[in-house]
């Protein structure tokens, strides 16, 4: 069974080489924000800074980690933009839906803001496990900055692992989307608690 999965997985790998001239573009797969219950607890404004990542994730290519010291990319699809930009769109959409669009802006929009949300994508990859199974792993660090006083209020890293039961692009991307939404469901209450604690000090 393991050998069969490795053979199939080989068809999804493209490596880091450039496409030959005239190669058709890869199909685009994107992530979608999911409905979040709106709250009116946020009494201030927050700007979403551009997420950062290591160079192997700062690409349109969908990453796969076949071994501990190796990173490759799927050959049958890619993100519509660099991964940090795709994640930024989800953050803006999700937090706007949660807190209301008037409270959430993009950093650099020229509007006054109280807090800035900094994020670092540390992992966003499909893994091939020793048993031949596949899973998506996500790891994102969030840091809340007091913009007016130029100081960090809190930072925390959230991670998720989602099994991939079927080797298809739709299933793989669905696992990424499910993992990111589950991660945000944990991160958003932490952000709200940070805001609440900071407000109680004033």
User: What are the pLDDT digits (tens) for 17-49?
Assistant: 334 455 678 899 999 988 777 776 677 889 999
Task: Please report the pLDDT score of residue 110 as a whole number.
Answer: 56
66 in any annotated domain: yes
Residue 86 scores a pLDDT above 90: yes
Q: Which domain holds residue 173?
A: 2-16+43-201
115 in any annotated domain: yes
- Domain CATH number, residue 158: 3.40.50.10610
98 in any annotated domain: yes
What's the number of domains the chain is made of? 1
pLDDT band at 14 (very low <50, low <70, confident <90, very high): very low
Helix (H) / strand (E) element for 2: namely helix 2-10
Task: Please report the pLDDT score of residue 6 as a whole number.
Answer: 42
Residue 182 scores a pLDDT above 60: yes
95-134: per-residue pLDDT in tens?
998 888 788 888 876 567 889 999 999 999 999 877 778 9
How far is Cα 58 from Cα 39, in angstroms, rounded to an integer?
Answer: 32
Task: Please report the pLDDT score of residue 11 as a whole number.
Answer: 53
**Which residues, 6+ apart, have CB-to-CB distance to 122 below 8 Å?**
53, 54, 139, 140, 141, 157
């Amino acid at each position: 069974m393991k050998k069969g999965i490795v053979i199939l997985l080989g068809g999804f790998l493209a490596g880091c080489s450039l496409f030959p001239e005239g190669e058709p573009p890869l199909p685009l797969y994107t992530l979608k924000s999911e409905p979040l219950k709106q709250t009116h607890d946020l009494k201030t404004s927050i700007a979403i800074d551009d997420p950062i990542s290591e160079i192997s994730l700062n690409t349109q290519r969908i990453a796969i980690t076949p071994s501990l010291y190796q990173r490759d990319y799927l050959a049958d699809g890619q993100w519509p933009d660099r991964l940090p930009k795709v994640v930024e769109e989800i953050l803006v959409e999700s937090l706007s839906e949660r807190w209301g669009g008037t409270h959430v802006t993009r950093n650099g929009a020229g509007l006054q803001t109280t807090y800035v949300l900094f994020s670092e994508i540390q992992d966003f990859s499909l893994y091939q496990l020793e048993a031949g199974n596949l899973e998506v792993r996500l790891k994102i660090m969030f840091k809340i900055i007091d913009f007016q006083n130029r100081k960090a209020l809190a930072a925390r890293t959230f991670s998720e692992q989602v099994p991939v039961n079927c080797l298809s692009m739709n299933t793989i991307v669905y696992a990424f989307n499910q993992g990111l939404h589950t991660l945000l469901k944990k991160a958003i209450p932490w952000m709200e608690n940070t805001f609440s604690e900071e407000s109680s000090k004033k």
